[in-house]
Amino acid sequence: MFEKVVEIIREHSKFLITTHINPDGDGLGSEVALAAMLKKIGKEAFIINESPIPENYLFLSKYGDIKVFSKEYINIIRKADVIFVVDISNWERVGEFGSLIMRESKALKICVDHHPSNSGFADLNIIDERASSTGELIYDLGESLEIPLNEDIATGIYVAIMTDTGSFRFPSTTSRVHMIVSRLLEKGIRPEKIYREIHERRSPSRMKVLGRALSNLNIECEGKVAWFYVTKEMLEEFNLNTEETDGFVNMLGDIREVIVSIFFLERNGKEVKVSLRSKDDYNVNKIANRLNGGGHVRAAGILMEASLKEAIEKVLGEVKKYLTKE
Amino acid sequence: MFEKVVEIIREHSKFLITTHINPDGDGLGSEVALAAMLKKIGKEAFIINESPIPENYLFLSKYGDIKVFSKEYINIIRKADVIFVVDISNWERVGEFGSLIMRESKALKICVDHHPSNSGFADLNIIDERASSTGELIYDLGESLEIPLNEDIATGIYVAIMTDTGSFRFPSTTSRVHMIVSRLLEKGIRPEKIYREIHERRSPSRMKVLGRALSNLNIECEGKVAWFYVTKEMLEEFNLNTEETDGFVNMLGDIREVIVSIFFLERNGKEVKVSLRSKDDYNVNKIANRLNGGGHVRAAGILMEASLKEAIEKVLGEVKKYLTKE
């Protein structure tokens, strides 16, 4: 699987690495690990993304230099021999900067990804949907290159695997995943510190708004559907950014018997952001698609131009239709 | 470390296994794994506890027969050659049934535990406070006995390790822990299903009371202390058992900068249960001790005969005194 890419790496010297907009732990961790590997074998490696690093991943800067795209980097892009696009299933998700790479660079493009929907857009595509994370594939690449692990590489891969497996609990968590993590921990990385950086940085206001929303929780369809909402007024009262409601929907997964969780966020008078989560491979992507949203089987979203009341009615209507059909 | 116990196991045939009252994943998982090991080498093994299995661990019955003590089992106790007491630091924590074992049985008592406070009360004590869990020590014992893993053994050890490491994130999570778990997963156990059984069985009412409590969250001491409470009226309004508030205190650990988390539960007009959690090895056990409570460095509790208002004042007073001293 990695022979061709190993050959390409050995033959070239200047590498650019990028990932999707609004990067997550798998994208950022994979970038950091790959850059550290390339540097370890004497290559030049730059990480440039369209989006800034989210606050809870800023600690990764200690392990790899992650730049946010600006014009000053055009020369780096132009001079790159090879561009790695990691954790991306289609080219558009690089952001606007993606088209710039396509225009300004003659580099060979290599995609490393584990999304089943990957379109194979690059010159060379390393896609394995059975992998727990792109980070696991970067680990495999490191093995193929025979690059010994160091703390930078291990931290990047740990962050990628830990976040994309939901702390080693999603079905993608195989025996091999734990074997790899066992090797990473030999490099002195500290799970508790990393977990804290990523997951324990919430504001008190977020907790209060979450509390207010949970206290108005709704359960329907014989306990199978749980939904709740946050209004514009609640955000204003506690002075909370809409981004800080990320993750609210996951709270409902703790409730027994719930298969579909829904969170409605009133972003302003006209727009509602809907987050859907499911269990048992119940396909919430289908529901999102019907309302012009999208995502995955177990996690999908919709941006609706509607009042909160209208959005709730429409989404619950679709969910109920779909639940009775199954 | 295990030579003597291996010898004892080989020489005897009837085994009894028990753990502490209000058993947790480490106690129950260790029992199930140990019983399955003993059966695999042709021994008789009974698990008898004082407390019933908590609902979220009932699925473990598929992997091992866990009995709750009643008089009909006195003969089993009398006839046991060896009694394993697992995950217990002092004899009293077996419950009242513990003294019965001491009186009714002439068996050799073996304690397997990882608590640093272990008093060495048994005839043979296998104590290793560096182990992530008692389950890890049971795994080691299985290796010493050269018993191949099967699904029952693997499930018990997985539950023990997963719950006692907070899903592989507490500082006790070593490279070796992941190596062991990697081997367990080869036996076909499913992390997501186990996680769901243990952690995703909350009632909607619990969520609503948690929500109400969080919306009244308090932050003090420059953000280092977070506290909240549940009143008797809130429990009554949502018809919630006091036990269902277990875990509320852990929510506050997600808030950035918080070092000490406190949850006050008004159990009736006269009694308040206080739960304390800390980070950075901040010793909340010291605070609990001053108010006749107890526990561990990072997790402690107090049962106070006081009004909710008095309890909050007293505990916060001690926390503030202690925080300024450090």
Q: How far apart are CA B98 and CA B89, in angstroms?
A: 13
Q: How far apart are CA A76 and CA B217, in angstroms?
A: 49
Do A206 and A244 form a contact (C-beta atoms < 8 A)?
yes
Q: Which residue of A has its CA nearest to B173?
A: A191
Mean pLDDT value across residues B5-23: 96
**Region of residue A192 (left: phi > 0; alpha: psi -120 to 50; beta: else):** alpha
CA distance A93 to chain B (A): 29
Written as six digits, the tokens of B210 are 């948690």
- The reported pLDDT for the residue numbered A294 is 87
Q: What is the band of B105 on the pLDDT scale with cuts at 50, 70, 90?
A: confident
Q: Please name the amino acid found at residue A201.
A: R
Q: Which residue of A has its CA nearest to B177?
A: A182
Written as six digits, the tokens of B175 are 């490279």
Inter-CA distances, A169 with A174, B26, B158, B162, B175, Å: 9, 18, 12, 10, 18
Contacts of A241 (CB under 8 A, 6+ apart): A235
Q: Is the pLDDT of residue B100 over 90?
A: no
- The reported pLDDT for the residue numbered A91 is 86
Inter-CA distances, B7 with B4, B12, B30, B38, B188, Å: 5, 9, 20, 13, 31
Q: Pick from A55, A159, A148, A216: which is nearest to B204 by CA?
A: A216
Q: How far apart are CA B11 and CA B35, in angstroms?
A: 16
Residue with tokens 């066992």: A182
Mean pLDDT value across residues A78-91: 93
Q: Pick from A272, A270, A280, A267: which is nearest to A301 by CA?
A: A272
Contact (CB<8Å) A204/B181: no
- The reported pLDDT for the residue numbered A230 is 98
Q: How far apart are CA A147 and CA A143, in angstroms?
A: 6
Contact (CB<8Å) B215/A219: no
**Region of residue A115 (left: phi > 0; alpha: psi -120 to 50; beta: else):** beta
**Region of residue A149 (left: phi > 0; alpha: psi -120 to 50; beta: else):** beta
Contact (CB<8Å) B176/A170: no
Q: How many residues does chain A have?
A: 326
Written as six digits, the tokens of A235 are 């955000």
Q: How far apart are CA A128 and CA A7, in angstroms?
A: 19
Q: What is the band of B234 on the pLDDT scale with cuts at 50, 70, 90?
A: very high
CATH number of A204-325: 3.10.310.30
Contact (CB<8Å) B256/A201: yes
- The reported pLDDT for the residue numbered A326 is 53
Contacts of A208 in chain B (CB under 8 A): 214-217
- The reported pLDDT for the residue numbered B325 is 62
CA distance B226 to chain A (A): 9
Q: Which residue of B has its CA nearest to A186?
A: B175
Contact (CB<8Å) A202/B254: yes
Inter-CA distances, B83 with B66, B74, B128, Å: 15, 13, 19
Q: Pick from A196, A267, A263, A186: which is nearest to A231 by CA?
A: A267
Q: How far apart are CA B138 and CA B141, in angstroms?
A: 5
Which of B181, B280, B298 to mutate to test binding with chain A, by most A CBs within 10 Å of its CB?
Answer: B181
Q: How far apart are CA A258 and CA A222, in angstroms?
A: 9
What string of DSSP letters covers B280-319?
Answer: TT--HHHHHHHTT-EE-SSEEEEEEES-HHHHHHHHHHHH
What average pLDDT is seen over chain A? Answer: 94
Q: Please name the amino acid found at residue A169.
A: R
Do B156 and B138 form a contact (C-beta atoms < 8 A)?
yes
Fold for B3-199, please state it: inorganic pyrophosphatase (n-terminal core) (3.90.1640)
Contact (CB<8Å) B185/A173: yes
B146: number of Cβ within 10 Å: 8
Q: Helix (H, G, I), strand (E, B), or coil: what is residue B255? A: strand
Q: Pick from B63, B57, B62, B112: which is nearest to B83 by CA?
A: B112
Contact (CB<8Å) A215/B195: no
- The reported pLDDT for the residue numbered B103 is 78
The alpha carbon torsion through B45, B51, B52, B54 (nearest 10 deg) reads -110
Q: What is the band of B326 on the pLDDT scale with cuts at 50, 70, 90?
A: low
Q: How far apart are CA B218 and CA B276, in angstroms?
A: 14
Contact (CB<8Å) B200/A256: yes
Q: Structural domain boundaries of chain A?
A: 3-199, 204-325
Q: How far apart are CA A59 and CA A62, in angstroms?
A: 6
Give, for B86, the enclosing helix (H) or strand (E). strand B82-86
Q: Please name the amino acid found at residue A291.
A: L
Written as six digits, the tokens of A99 are 């088209």
Give, for B198, the enclosing helix (H) or strand (E). helix B191-199
Q: How far apart are CA B228 and CA B219, in angstroms?
A: 9
CA distance A124 to chain B (A): 31
Q: Which residue of B has its CA nearest to A206?
A: B255
Q: What is the pLDDT of residues B293-306, one digit of tens each?
A: 988 889 999 999 99
- ipTM over cut 0.90: yes
Q: Pick from B19, B8, B160, B15: which is nearest to B91 by CA?
A: B19
Instruction: Determine the Cα angle at A120 with ends A114 and A121, to 5°.
Output: 120
Q: What is the pLDDT of residues A262-321, one digit of tens each?
A: 999 999 878 999 999 998 878 999 999 999 998 888 999 999 999 999 999 999 999 998
Contacts of A9 (CB under 8 A, 6+ apart): A15, A38, A41, A43, A82, A145
Do A164 and A25 form a contact (C-beta atoms < 8 A)?
yes
Q: Is the pLDDT of residue A325 over 70?
A: no
Q: What is the pLDDT of residues B119-141, one digit of tens each?
A: 888 999 999 999 999 999 999 99
Do B245 and B209 form a contact (C-beta atoms < 8 A)?
yes
Q: How far apart are CA A117 and CA A296, in angstroms?
A: 9
Contact (CB<8Å) B214/A216: no
The alpha carbon torsion through B135, B141, B146, B152 (nearest 10 deg) reads -30
Instruction: Report which DSSP code applies to B91.
Output: G
Contacts of B207 in chain A (CB under 8 A): 214, 217, 251-252, 254-255
Inter-CA distances, B115 with B130, B244, B272, Å: 9, 26, 27
Q: How far apart are CA B59 and CA A14, in angstroms?
A: 54
- The 3-state secondary structure of chain A reads CCHHHHHHHHHCCEEEEECCCCCCHHHHHHHHHHHHHHHHCCCEEEEEECCCCCHHHHHHHHCCCEEECCHHHHHHHHHCCEEEEECCCCHHHHCHHHHHHHHHCCCEEEEEECCCCCCCCCCEEEECCCCCCHHHHHHHHHHHCCCCCCHHHHHHHHHHHHHHCCCCCCCCCCHHHHHHHHHHHCCCCCHHHHHHHHHCCECHHHHHHHHHHHCCCEEECCCCEEEEEECHHHHHHHCCCHHHHCCHHHHHHHECCCCEEEEEEECCCCEEEEEEEECCCCCHHHHHHHCCCEECCCEEEEEEECCHHHHHHHHHHHHHHHHHHC
Q: Is the pLDDT of residue A119 over 90?
A: no
Q: What is the band of B89 on the pLDDT scale with cuts at 50, 70, 90?
A: confident
Q: How far apart are CA B28 and CA B68, in angstroms?
A: 12
Q: Pick from B154, B152, B167, B230: which is nearest to B198 by CA?
A: B167
- The reported pLDDT for the residue numbered B295 is 84
